[in-house]
Chains A and B, each alone.
Chain A
């Protein structure tokens, strides 16, 4: 587990300030998609070995949603970006 996350807004902070909100690589199915597809989206997760993108909420800091790319083997954090700003195409 990465224990220090560099928030693009707040700087380096300990993981205790954040809430991990899961896989950032999922795409929400269409509302009328099959129940199987929805079941997969809601309940089934990969357990990747290596690079992994996750949503982290800086819940006890700036309260922004971040996308943290980290390595589950080496614990190295590769990038941290503001999720909303990344979606809008702006720099975090």
Chain B
């Protein structure tokens, strides 16, 4: 039926852009789980490994908060299994359809991001593996450095197009 809403990625149709020393690319909408509570990165890593999600990345997102992200969608049964195995006092919110990941890379990546965030992106302050919740302009983002010249931005779905649009000109 043509009047039924169809599910499509928030950044569907946005091709990866490669500019001069800067590239921006929408990542697949796989799974993205938010976890909160008194646990540790090691404990979460072990838990997700037992559910066959060793390939998912776990990134700090503030005091006692983490994002678990991966490129493959999670079946509802797998999600229920994880939710049932969480340590006491730890809670999970499935954000797989609520947040979108964007990768930016290239020698100019840190310089472009510095126009939007106040986080000090110098390698000595924000090395590969570092992550922060912050603002890019007026848009709240989770920013992580995945390599010396590679970053990921996680953004609320409704802001994804606006954020991508702000980064596009730098990759022109």
> Does chain A have a CB within 8 A of B114?
no
Q: Is A61 in contact with B118, judged by CB distance below 8 angstroms?
A: no
Main secondary structure of the interface of B (DSSP, over half): strand
Main secondary structure of the interface of A (DSSP, over half): loop
Number of interface residues of A (CB under 8 A): 12
Closest to B132 in A: A10
> Does chain A have a CB within 8 A of B140?
yes
CA distance A10 to B62 in the complex (A): 7
Total contacts A to B, CB within 8 angstroms? 34
Q: Is B118 in contact with A62, judged by CB distance below 8 angstroms?
A: no
Could you say which residues of chain B place their CB within 8 Å of the CB of A82? 63
Number of interface residues of B (CB under 8 A): 11
- Contact residues, A1-27 vs B (CB, 8 A): 9-10, 13-14, 16-17
Could you say which residues of chain B place their CB within 8 Å of the CB of A61? 62, 132-134
> Does chain B have a CB within 8 A of A60?
yes
A58 to chain B, nearest CB (A): 8
CA distance A82 to B64 in the complex (A): 13
11 more A-B residue pairs beyond the given contacts A17-B118, A61-B133, A82-B63, with a C-beta to C-beta distance below 8 A: A9-B62, A9-B63, A10-B62, A13-B118, A14-B118, A16-B118, A16-B135, A60-B133, A61-B134, A62-B65, A64-B63
What are 18 residue pairs bridging A and B, where the CB atoms are less than 8 Å apart in the complex? A9-B62, A9-B63, A10-B132, A10-B133, A13-B118, A13-B119, A17-B134, A17-B135, A60-B133, A60-B134, A61-B132, A62-B61, A62-B62, A62-B63, A62-B133, A64-B62, A64-B63, A82-B63
CA distance A83 to B87 in the complex (A): 25
Q: Scan B107-145; emit 1 where CB is below 8 A from any A CB, else 0.
A: 000000000001100000000000011110000100000
